Amino acid sequence: MATTENGSGKPELAGKRALVTGGSRGIGAAVVRRLLDAGAEVLTTARTAADTVPEGAAFVAADVRTRAGAAAIAEAARETLGGVDVLVHNVGGARPYEGTSAIPDEVWQDSLDLNYLASVRLDSLLVPGMRKQGSGAIVHVSTAAVRTPGGPFLHYTAAKAALENYSRGLALELAPFGIRVNTVSPGRVTTPGGVRTREQWARMDPAQSQEAQSQDGGPVPLGRDGRPDDLAHTVLFLVSDRADWLTGSNLVVDGGEFPRA
């Protein structure tokens, strides 16, 4: 098992308690493995039980889109871990639609619940414990596609844009209490969910899908699509003491694919 050491000879996150949402596959599972390797005790979540949860992690089945689901996750974190030092909001996603007018109202709401409000609700339940202990690290996973909003994923990028704004505000609010809040924005990463979404888009509108991928990511300047571990390494850095003077930041991890402001 690989570990990251902090100069003391101990794993970098030894003694830390981490909660990772959506950790049964893709980026979330990679983050769970990386935190476990670094010595953390990890609890992860998904809507249904899965046999793909990384070995060594505890698991709770709950729907983060609902208040009841967020409450169940927070309670499981208290019971299983005794509290939380590291909170990684990885869960998210959306299916494509043929333009904004084709997106039903309930889909807008579902996207907000999954991609934005899930983080707000879970933060509100777990941040008081972090404030009491005077420390903590929170990472919100957004998307680099926020930088080119529109088209079939506007409901998704709009929700993630709200998440980024909220994350920055929360970072300023919690900094005096020793709690750091940062955002990671992935580009095109090869995951089961990402592949499925791109296939849906290609079936819906092959020409538009091919043109958008050519403009936004083909070829990615660094020569390849992302891998889940690319994001996991970034998350580990952000929750570690190596980033102890970093808060309110948004690290875009996309191989140079998307335009910078």
Active-site pick, 97, 116, 156, 166: 156
Compute the distance between CA of residue 136 and CA of residue 84 in angstroms, rounded to an integer.
Answer: 8
How many Å separate Cα 75 from the centre of its chain? 20
Name, in order, each residue with C-beta under 8 angstroms of 200's C-beta and a sequence gap of 6 or more. 95, 96
Long-range contacts of range 198-204, CB-CB < 8 Å, 24 or more positions apart? Answer: 200/95, 200/96, 201/96, 201/152, 204/96, 204/98, 204/152
Compute the distance between CA of residue 1 and CA of residue 40 in angstroms, rounded to an integer.
Answer: 13
Beta bridge partners of 65: none
Residue 156 designated active-site: yes
Angle among Cα 108, 113, 117 to the nearest 5 degrees reads 125
Q: Which residues are part of the catalytic machinery?
A: 156
